[in-house]
Amino acid sequence: MKRKAAVWLMLAALLIPLFPAGALAKAPVKNVIIVMPDGMSATHATVARWYNGGKALVSDEMICGAIRTYSAESLISDSAPASTAFATGHKSNSKFIGILPAKTTMPGVAPVADELKYKPGATVLEGAKLQGKAVGLVATSNIQHASPAGYSAHTFNRNDYNDIAEQQVYLDIDVVFGGGKQYLLPVAQGGKRTDGENLVAVLKDRGYRFVEDRGQMASVKSGKVWGMFAMDDMAYEFDRPTFRPEEPSLAEMTGKAIELLSQNKNGFFLFVEASKVDWASHANDPIGVISDVLAFDEAMKVALDFARKDGQTLVLGFTDHGNGGMSIGNKTTDATYDKLPFEALIAPLKKATLTGEGIEKVLDGDLSESNIRFVMSNYYGVDDLTAGEVTAIQKAKKGSMNYAVGPVISRRSVIGWTTNGHTGEDVFLYAYGPNRPTGLIQNTDLALAQAGALGLDLDAVDGKLFVEADKAFAAIGATVRLDKADAANPVLVVEKGMKRVELPISKDIVRAGGTSCEMHGLTVLAAKTGKVYVPRQAVELAVAAGL
């Protein structure tokens, strides 16, 4: 990709500042850190605490309220509209990432005007970038997964990881740590991209250091960095030392992200996710739950230690929804719950040394009954597998062994589960620092709390980043059309007389006259409506280029 021409740099410098001088000085806090355990309900935290000997979790002292998690259309939220809510302040629909809903059916959720349906909504991370703050994302899933994507992308389909990856790369996020390298590479190079673009090369061209293990990450002392530590998701913390010791822990990634981002004199915004609490809950795997709830708590300690020393940082912890309907007590305890000893819950759990995902790696494809019994005895302390349990393990689909193994350990403890899906209960709110929110709040209030802490007006940010291209360019006498000659790489073409400007979809690039310039936001196609949204800066740059 061509770098900025000198004339573009000079023209961009002449644009009206995005925020008035002194705006940052008035912000209540300098930094905001989010640490999120995806899919964690109160029971998850309780079980992890008992597993820890009953000792309080670091996050326990931060509990200050609760969050209502429902979406615009359902009592029980998908992760995508949940992340949209706490990143943009708008409840949305299932699978929607960073865009306004098409329908609202829940009581109290205001309907959306027709012209705003599917419109991108500005995120807190994007607003922090406009303030000149450093921004970062950390996750143990692929970084393109719903929750980190909610802060960094805009699409109606949370599963379009290729498009999400492209938007994240071209958003110029300062620090990114997690999994998902396959969505940065073309198919020809072992990745999943079908548009032919090598986003690792793009990152390097843009001045990023690209690292792939904990040693490389530790060596980074400054500057912009992308760390991709797995082709897809990273390991559960209990499994990591055995199977992927080269991967950094969530706490290590959090610490390094804070170290790098805090070098920005204007402050920073950081989102951290313990992603696989959710995945373990879907599988009803209590060992996976405990593993990554404790990993969340270690990451929270890192954030909290920094905030206590810094004095200018708001730390928020919250989840997007419950998952699994996990309970301490099940049908076997109906008559004995009031005499339930500590050991009934914890003793079977303490025998397990790996998650269900780790057990699949140890089995290594050998699903003979003798090997299954050997592995479950050695790694789970289970010597009395039933014939049905052996069969369930043998029939488990590749990548889903935790769905077979999780119930084995749950039955030997006193843990109950009601579902393999999400649940709709209110969840804990954790907060530390200036102006922390308290009480029972909506998930959308979290976006307002983050924005308010940083002195951001999300509506104003939205007005800068997402204007309808056809209307905005029509105001200067230009026309627009979507060029799909390369279907995998559509481009918005703006024309006026003999002048032409191009804005590739899902990128921050403006091209004109053989040169290119990077904007402070993305060109986004709302595929359901065909509308294209651009930063207001795109029009200003087009005019400056002679359009």
Q: Cα separation of 415 and 430, whole Å? A: 25
Q: Specify the amino acid at residue 132.
A: G
Which helix (H) or strand (E) segment holds residue 210: the answer is strand 209-211
Which whole-number Å values give the CA distances from 36 to 15, 293, 318, in the listed order?
37, 10, 5
Which whole-number Å values give the CA distances from 124 to 143, 489, 516, in the listed order?
17, 27, 27
Are β-strands 439-442 and 509-512 bridged in parallel, bridged antiparallel, or unpaired?
A: unpaired
Q: Cα separation of 365 and 458, whole Å? A: 51
Q: Cα separation of 35 and 429, whole Å? A: 11
Q: Cα separation of 78 and 517, whole Å? A: 37
**What SS3 class is residue 272?**
strand
Which helix (H) or strand (E) segment holds residue 254: the answer is helix 250-261
Active site residues: 79
**Measured torsion, CA atoms of residues 177, 179, 184, 190, in degrees rounded to the nearest 10:** 140
Which whole-number Å values give the CA distances from 390 to 274, 357, 416, in the listed order?
31, 16, 20
Angle subtended at Cα 388 by Cα 385 and Cα 392, rounded to the nearest 5 degrees: 95
Q: Cα separation of 217 and 229, whole Å? A: 10
Q: What is the 3-state secondary structure (H, E, C) of 475-513?
A: CCCCEEEEECCCCCCCEEEEEECCEEEEEECCCCEEEEC
Q: Cα separation of 329 and 140, whole Å? A: 30
Q: Cα separation of 261 and 270, whole Å? A: 8
Q: Cα separation of 510 and 381, whole Å? A: 60
Q: Cα separation of 475 and 479, whole Å? A: 10
Q: Specify the amino acid at residue 433.
A: G
Residue 525: beta bridge partners? 532
CA 258 to chain centre: 17
